[in-house]
């Protein structure tokens, strides 16, 4: 086939743009550098990028499986009362103790005639019991090395057709927890906007991004990185990300400690109770927290499953790293058989603009 000089020049320019974009993407994968600013792309590079977006409409990742059996290892219930709850030794029986008012969850054993059994020989009236609502969100494993960063939509969002613009009324709705690829970025009025689809721009506060990093010095094998800024956890085998998910770390009043830690092998529990701030406005007593791994003994911080909120991607805890029950189970099992003391690196890839 013969090419005109113009066709040859256009083809050469497109190939050069593909190489430039590919080199940039490899640099991101190797060094943690983020994707290019859209305004820095030439018209031909934008055409190449548009073709790559069309070729990869969804990230090449696989959500881990879940089921009712995984989600409900116990029959969780919340205790609701603005005053201490009296516990009885039998339905309509004798009072034996009180549970302070607060953020309290139990696992129920039985129920009969308007009463619920919360432990052996402990009953409370049904009116103080409320159902738990367990998140079905799960993290993902990587089918192949990613060309573009992975992110999740944090709020139901209609994307804009250009950075900083109001979304059109007929824009497709990207629902919470939808995984997307991030192809380019552009800063507008102090906020980053990310290109997640063809002419689909989303402002940074509506995304949680999985941004791989290099292992800290001395860390190898299986290890866990927790990015407090993005509220994302990535599990690695040496330098290779194998799993990523959204988490909830400590609120500003109870910030999660940064640093390099190791899981304490003797403090791994398929279920364990936790309590704190008793007598105060933030009092909590929670039974049977699943798939718990303590890693920061000084501050009593752990990775663990969570059945009392669905706020993943946002800070929500008293310092621990909250995961869905499904994700916590996956991590617990992944760190078994020789990696019970896996490294946990907690860091921030940015600073909150609050």
Q: What is the pLDDT of residues 167-202, one digit of tens each?
A: 999 999 999 999 999 999 999 999 999 999 999 999
| 154 and 89 part of one domain | no
Flag whether 238 is in a domain. Answer: yes
Kindly state whether residue 107 falls inside one of the protein's structural domains: yes
Percent of the chain with pLDDT over 70: 90
**Residues 124, 87: contact at Cβ < 8 Å?**
yes
Is the domain of 58 the same as that of 114? no
Q: pLDDT band at 34, cuts 50/70/90? A: low
Please give the angle made by the CA atoms of 167, 168 and 171, to the nearest 5 degrees. Answer: 90
Same-domain pairing of 122 and 242: no
Residue 196 and residue 254 in one domain: no
Q: How many CB atoms lie within 10 A of CB 273?
A: 14
pLDDT by residue (tens digit) across 94-153?
A: 999 999 999 999 999 999 999 999 999 999 999 999 999 999 999 999 988 998 999 999
Same domain, yes or no: 183 and 153: yes
Distance CA 121, CA 136 (A): 32
Indicate if the pLDDT at residue 26 is higher than 60.
no
Instruction: Tell me whether residue 352 is in a domain.
Output: no
- Residue 127 sits in a domain whose CATH number is 2.30.30.40
User: Is 19 inside a domain boundary?
Assistant: yes
Residues 328, 249, single domain; the answer is yes
The per-residue pLDDT for range 228-254, each reduced to its tens digit, is 999 999 999 999 999 999 999 999 999
User: 47 and 20, same structural domain?
Assistant: yes
**Helix runs in the chain, H state only:** 5-31, 43-55, 68-71, 325-334
Last residue of a domain, one of 110, 131, 152: 131
43 and 189 share one domain: yes
For residue 126 the two structure tokens come to 């049904």
Q: Is residue 354 part of a domain?
A: no
Q: How far apart are CA 242 and CA 177, in angstroms?
A: 19
Task: Answer whether residue 117 is part of any domain.
Answer: yes
Counted domains in the chain? 3
Can you tell me the mean pLDDT for 18-22? 42
Q: Are residues 197 and 255 in the same domain?
A: no
> Residue 120 domain-assigned?
yes
Domain hosting residue 11, numbered range: 5-64+138-209
Q: Which of 131, 148, 177 is the last residue of a domain?
A: 131
Residues 203 and 217 in one domain: no
Mean pLDDT of 16-24: 40
Please state whether the predicted TM-score (pTM) of the whole model is above 0.75: yes
Q: Does residue 353 lie within any of the structural domains?
A: no
Same domain, 193 and 221: no
CA angle 345, 351, 354 (to 5 degrees): 135
Of 194, 209, 224, the one marking the end of a domain is 209
Indicate if 308 and 193 belong to the same structural domain.
no
CATH number, residue 272: 2.40.440.10
């Amino acid at each position: 086939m013969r090419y005109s000089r113009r066709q040859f020049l256009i083809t050469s320019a497109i190939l050069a743009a593909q190489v430039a974009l590919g080199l940039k993407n490899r640099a991101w994968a190797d060094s943690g550098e983020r994707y290019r600013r859209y305004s820095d792309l030439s018209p031909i590079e934008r055409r190449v990028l548009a073709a790559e977006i069309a070729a990869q409409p969804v990230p090449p990742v696989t959500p881990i499986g879940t089921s009712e059996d995984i989600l409900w290892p116990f029959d969780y219930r919340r205790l609701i009362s603005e005053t201490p709850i009296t516990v009885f030794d039998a339905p309509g029986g004798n009072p034996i103790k009180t549970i302070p008012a607060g953020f309290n969850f139990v696992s129920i054993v039985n129920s009969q005639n308007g009463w619920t059994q919360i432990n052996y020989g402990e009953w409370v009236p049904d009116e103080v019991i409320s159902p738990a609502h367990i998140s079905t969100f799960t993290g993902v494993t990587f089918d192949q090395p990613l060309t573009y960063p992975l992110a999740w939509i944090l709020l139901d969002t209609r994307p804009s057709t250009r950075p900083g613009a109001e979304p059109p009324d007929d824009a497709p709705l990207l629902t919470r927890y939808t995984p997307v690829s991030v192809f380019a970025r552009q800063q507008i009025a102090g906020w980053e906007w990310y290109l997640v689809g063809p002419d689909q721009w989303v402002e940074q506060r509506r995304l949680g991004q999985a941004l791989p990093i290099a292992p800290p010095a001395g860390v190898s094998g299986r290890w866990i990185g927790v990015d407090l800024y993005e509220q994302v956890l990535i599990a690695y085998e040496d330098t290779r990300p194998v799993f990523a998910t959204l988490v909830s770390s400590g609120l500003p009043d109870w910030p999660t400690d940064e640093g390099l830690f190791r899981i304490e092998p003797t403090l791994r529990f398929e279920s364990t109770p936790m309590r704190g701030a008793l007598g105060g406005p933030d009092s909590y007593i929670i039974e049977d927290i699943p798939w718990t791994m303590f890693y920061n003994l000084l501050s009593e911080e752990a990775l663990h499953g969570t059945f009392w909120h669905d706020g993943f991607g946002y800070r929500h805890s008293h310092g621990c790293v909250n995961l869905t029950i499904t994700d916590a189970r996956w991590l617990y099992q992944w760190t078994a058989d020789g990696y019970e003391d896996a490294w946990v690196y907690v860091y921030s890839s940015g600073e909150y603009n609050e």
